[in-house]
Amino acid sequence: MSTRPGPGRAPRFAAVAGAIALLVALATGAHAYLALEPLGPDATAGPGRTVTVAGVDYRLDRFAVGTRFAPDEAGDDPVRAPAGTEIVFVTFTRTVHDRRSPLDEQFCDVSLRAGDDVWQTDDTVTYRIARPRRLTCSATDDAPLAYDQPARIGVAFLVPAGKADRAVLRIEVDGGDHGVELHR
């Protein structure tokens, strides 16, 4: 008894093989595309509420929008947004509980999003504004991390005026595999 497809079954066999090849190609392409832009965050939170993602707690402390903020250095002039822009200043607290998550590998990508628009942090404003000592999720020499110890982080963005009304802060971790959105 032959296991080869007979002459009559060959077209059907080719069709099935082609369909499987298409499905594999579709799955491969979809995986690559979704890796570019994750569909959405694992959790969202408003002010004061804590959410837990991948063994880490996130709490939004402050989500402020304005054109004038207090300076980090006493005696400096206030930090002012240039004409036509607004400063968005966000502080949040991050607490690592999961012991399987190494403290020296706490990386996150922080961005501000409003619809299709995405902004990265503005280093000039972030350094000048009165803020928590920590600017990133990573441990530094002067701000080490510890399990179960809250770490406060402050970031600032400069955006065109009016764009911040419906903006959210997106924190992506594990190379974008997990994410949290913090709302005003």
**Nearer of residues 34 and 70 to another protein, judged by Cβ:** 34
* Residue in this structure with the two tokens 């980090």, named with its chain if needed: 72
> Within positions 159 to 178, which residues make up the interface with another protein, using CB under 8 A?
159-161, 163
88 C-beta neighbours (distance < 10 Å), count? 25
For CA atoms 68, 131, 172, 175, the dihedral sign is: positive
Among 77, 116, 142, 148, binds another protein (CB under 8 A): 116
Identify the residue among 1, 3, 4, 75 touching another protein (CB under 8 A).
Answer: 4
Which of 3, 84, 104, 142 binds another protein (CB under 8 A)? It is 84
Question: Contact region for another protein (CB under 8 A) — 15-23, 87-95, 100-108, 156-164?
Answer: 156-164
Largest CA distance in the chain: 92
What single letter denotes the amino acid at residue 121? T
CA dihedral 50→56→133→141, nearest 10 degrees, is: 170
Nearest distance, CB of residue 33 and another protein, angstroms: 7
Q: How far apart are the C-alpha atoms of 67 and 80, rounded to whole Å?
A: 5
36 lies in the site for another protein, by CB under 8 A? yes
Contact residues for another protein (CB under 8 A)? 4, 32-33, 35-36, 82-85, 116-120, 122, 158-161, 163
